[in-house]
Structure 1
């Protein structure tokens, strides 16, 4: 009988067999780790995708809420400053909308209480209502025209300024909003306490803007001194902030780049902001952003970003970003928000009134012992109104109607210095003056007002309600010229001529011109006219 004996394994064979086993274990571990990583990455990607979708939903819900707010505002005209409303949609989502000044803010939150919860807060300036230019709120402006205007030093406009299709050069103060093509400031005293809405370019060389700046073509803030801009910057073009400018609001460039230079400061540590650009964002000098920066293109950090930076392109000098610096990742880039400025094209001057005049000329006598009181003119149609040899120290009285508007028609009005204009507003209706030619009045005009037909008080007296200026309307088919250091009560419209006011004057009403304005170192207090409101 034979017995089979197996050949014993050598030491080398044992080592080879053990090595194969170790390799199998190692491969198994690697595959396991890769599997876990893929699962985690997939879940992370899914979570990021869902979060992005939730953010987009929140933004579009807020945007829809803003359009609703504009519709309700134009329909009812009762959405006042500070008023908030909440919209609840069929899916349970809520949109909170509040009006703050001339801006609607909508806040939408989706997927509340879940890991996908997202919120968006979106602004939109109040639109001018109506598609027909004739129905636009033309009585909402203190100064209104379609020819470029220069508002010089010491000029104060208490109300909105609208120059349709042309430019505003500002050295004085606009205590309200500006609506124009290009807007330029060239003086440190230039101030806009409201917002700027420009269908062209905004160039703030020096001066202050408290509200938002909206521009179709671009924004340039380049103050050499420390100037604080309190609102947001929106532009369909590029935005450049330089010098010592400080911007407290967010910056959105929808179709251009953002350049921050010099010692510009955007946001504050306590109130960080966002800078969003469709193109590139460039910081140079010591420019600093407190908040996050989003660019569709390249982010160049020559200054510093105290926050995060997200770029669709690369980030140059990412070490100057205190937070995350994520490049080549358009998924993380927030798109800029830019309001629609198309409604600016709808603003237009009202139609001129068709009228004629003719009749006896009026010679207003100089005040003396023979004629101590004002020269009284009844409503009607006349020729020229003038004072003898353009004499000074004359007085003229016009009266409101008791049963209807008191309409006056003149060929021309030409009166000298030191005129006293008496306005009897004891009637129930208005005084309306229509002049075929010029209205020319010398310096030192004083306006005295009476609401009882007996007692007359200077219009700049604290006892006189400025709102009565709505009851006095002047329209000239040619020019309106008022001399220096004068008072004027009532709205003036020169559809085909110029409107000029001398230094140191005080005006209450609204001032419209188709030929241009020249308001020098004077104050204008806006009161809407009844006349346009009726049409």
Structure 2
């Protein structure tokens, strides 16, 4: 997710610098952001535009501003396609990667619709045949009336992307994973709910995401719809959502928030340490803080004692309540109201009326200002794409592996060699030792009070399971780096977890006090049940990811993230 400067890009008929897209954004859902930045309700004065109508009404001005914003969307689209294909995710040679970029930009004649009334068209010219690869991309943003006629247009003569200042320079083939997509194990694909007081060493991705009270996530949150961040919860990175984002009291986001929906920041010093970019409205409740800027398509309400460390830029109205403060300028397409005790340290620049009431203050107040020079908001940026991990192809054997209750109680217990088996069914109070190599099972069932010993003195341990994996409660996992001496998973080097990979094409379920050492990939669901570890120890050293299912975490779940060698090589 982005961390950006306060100024929105100023689009003219000259090459525009655009916004650099961080690696995490490359390969994002590009058309998603295009839809998200087609903001409605633009008000205020007109902009430089080409018009098929001589009308100078407020409606024409509004339509012109929407055409202007459609052009911005086109520029953003070209910039992101440029960055994505520079990442060379398909490991192509430079010429082929360049050709793929041009084809992508010219698809459907270069025309992209934001909705029924707004669209942009990219006109492309290839001006080089060898490295450095140069091209010109001009953008025509248009407003289309109900009869399908273009009534307002705004043209960007050339984007910075493709020019001599920013030529197309694709990454070398096989230079790693430069595409900017996020690996599924790095962000908990898919974890819709992070339980109260859980502590995750990764980010979180889901169709929707709830971060429970006093829970923490070290990385980013990415949601296809809404995000709810509970009381005293903390996100170390950014939040990107397809719907509304809500922060409860005393919660924290360490980076930016991007959404085409609304953003509500809770009371009692709830804080966003970066900037917020909303397609809808933004509300700061009492004593809430945004340390960066606010960009919004709708209204911005700053309630009692809330603060903004940067500026506010919106197409809607802005209200600054008693004891609320904006350190920078406020640029609003609608009305700006500063109530008694409210402060704008910078200038109040309104497309409508700038009203500074008695007891309120602003450095200056200007009404009926068109855009430009009034700034317009920077659109929300696309969320980074979270890869769908590939499932391996394998088949199990027919030879079952089983042990009655308490049959193997002395180490190494049942020492099983790598191979292809049928059902694995181990009753409680047994010891099972696995060694370096590949195991394939029809299903796995391990009962309560079982001990799993992982011999990592040699090669990695890879476990493939056709069906479900069921681990009973209070399973003990011991690890050896020399094949002789075993210690609990909490007392060995966590980096050893990179040598263990389990993939099930069914579900993985772990009972009370369940735990795992290594990576788990499930086609369906992963579930850790029960309460917190009585000694406060982590439940997983490794990583978790699903393809079609979801991840359910036990109470006060915590983990240490270690990327699997197998996942690194095959995902």
Alignment TM-score, normalising by the size of structure 1: 0.69
Give the aligned partner of residue 351 of structure 1. Answer: 390
How far 1:444 moved relative to its partner?
A: 1.9
Give the aligned partner of residue 465 of structure 2. Answer: 435
Question: SS of the counterpart of 1:294?
Answer: strand
Consecutive unaligned residues in structure 2, runs of 5 or more: 1-7, 23-78, 90-174, 533-537
**2:333 equivalent to 1:296:** yes
Counterpart Cα distance in 1 of 2:271 and 2:525: 38
Alignment of 1:329-478 (within 5 A): 329-330=369-370, 331-341=372-382, 343-344=383-384, 346-366=385-405, 371-387=410-426, 390-391=427-428, 393-400=429-436, 406-427=437-458, 429-461=459-491, 464-478=492-506
Alignment of 1:17-416 (within 5 A): 60-61=16-17, 63=19, 70=83, 74=87, 136-139=181-184, 141-145=186-190, 149-163=192-206, 165-171=207-213, 172-185=215-228, 187-206=230-249, 207-223=251-267, 225-253=268-296, 255-267=297-309, 273-302=310-339, 303-317=342-356, 320-330=360-370, 331-341=372-382, 343-344=383-384, 346-366=385-405, 371-387=410-426, 390-391=427-428, 393-400=429-436, 406-416=437-447
Gap change, CA 1:383 and 1:173, over 3 Å in 2: same
How far 1:215 moved relative to its partner?
A: 1.1
How far 1:282 moved relative to its partner?
A: 1.8
CA RMSD of aligned residues (A): 3.2
Question: SS of the counterpart of 1:385?
Answer: strand
Gap change, CA 1:286 and 1:467, over 3 Å in 2: same
Give the aligned partner of residue 540 of structure 2. Answer: 507
Alignment TM-score, normalising by the size of structure 2: 0.65
Count the aligned residue pairs: 407
Q: Which has the larger radius of gyration?
A: 1
Question: SS of the counterpart of 1:467?
Answer: helix
Counterpart Cα distance in 1 of 2:409 and 2:353: 88
Of Structure 1 and Structure 2, the greater strand share is in: 1
Is the Cα–Cα contact under 8 Å of residues 201 and 558 in structure 2 kept in the other structure? yes
Residue by residue over 1:419-459, the C-alpha shift from the partner in whole angstroms, topping out at 9 and shown as x without a partner, is: 221111111x3211111222111222222222222222222
Counterpart Cα distance in 1 of 2:217 and 2:15: 33
Question: SS of the counterpart of 1:376?
Answer: strand
Is the Cα–Cα contact under 8 Å of residues 510 and 528 in structure 1 kept in the other structure? yes
Is the Cα–Cα contact under 8 Å of residues 284 and 302 in structure 2 kept in the other structure? yes
Consecutive unaligned residues in structure 1, runs of 5 or more: 1-51, 77-129, 268-272, 401-405
Counterpart Cα distance in 1 of 2:235 and 2:403: 42
